[in-house]
A = this chain, B = another copy of it.
């Protein structure tokens, strides 16, 4: 089937771009140097490609992502890189077939993990504006975890504030400051893992021993401003022109079909005016008619993927497969 025969809105990935991105990252950060973050795509079929490229551990943002990977046999080494005090969900993970490590940054999160029978953790260190404890608290929290029977595998720190910075020098400075804190915490905590980073800092962050990148597979439009990125954008949203006015056209993919927190999608065919629930208004460079197809590039892939049930796989215009986006919700 040709991509233009799919009902719209249709979310699709360019398989060739996706495979090239995965191969490039596997060359840069082979094997366990990368712990792919599945929150970016929420798709076990895509995680399997990353696994087959040599990355056997995964980073997760939700319990659902952990359990979903475990269900399909990709649970060799799963890190829940978020805090939770939900003992019921922690218990589900503890009794799954996966090896599960959780991030903790407080007595309450450690106590909840222990109560649920979680066996391994990392101490999450605040290196920016996300979760994490202070460096000074790290040793005490690690002691508490060990006293409660939880192995401490090391430290985690996510430099989210550096991720989207365009200027490479400025980005590097932010990463260095953040990672000095993380290494200081590691010297107090010990363990084999120093985990952090993301697509924006994957080439800069040489302090951690594993990078948690996820967006690299399909890439956000925001990252295209970072000239040191070797990855190409591979996620697209096809829409049909359903109405034509004198000065604009309306297509049938709106803000319910894509993440809006990074702003409007981009479009090579002209100007994007605005998105409403099920529509995007466009000013085309050339005449478009009702029924014509347009291809938008969503600005932020993570929340775009989480709005769709299915991702279509496309190579040179032909739909060759479709994947369930099966790690959605909580």
Contact = CB atoms under 8 A, between A and B. Distances in A.
A108 interface: yes
A106 to B, nearest CB: 5
Contact of A88 (B7, B302, B309): B7
Contacts of A14: none
Given A130-B250, A130-B279, A290 B82 contact: no
A259 to B, nearest CB: 7
Task: Report the interface size class on chain A.
Answer: 35 or more
Interface in A231-290: 240, 242-245, 248, 250, 252, 255-257, 259-261, 273, 275-279, 281, 289-290
Copies of the chain in the assembly = 2
A306 interface: yes
Interface in A82-106: 82-86, 88-89, 105-106
Interface SS of chain A: loop
What 3 pairs across the A-B complex have the smallest Cβ distances?
Answer: A131-B243, A108-B290, A83-B242
A323 to B, nearest CB: 16
Contacts of A243: 83, 105-106, 109, 124, 130-132
A240 B88 CA distance: 14
Nearest to A302: B277
Interface string A113-157: 000000000001010011110000000000000000000000000
Nearest to A112: B291
Contacts of A106: 243-244, 290
Nearest to A106: B290
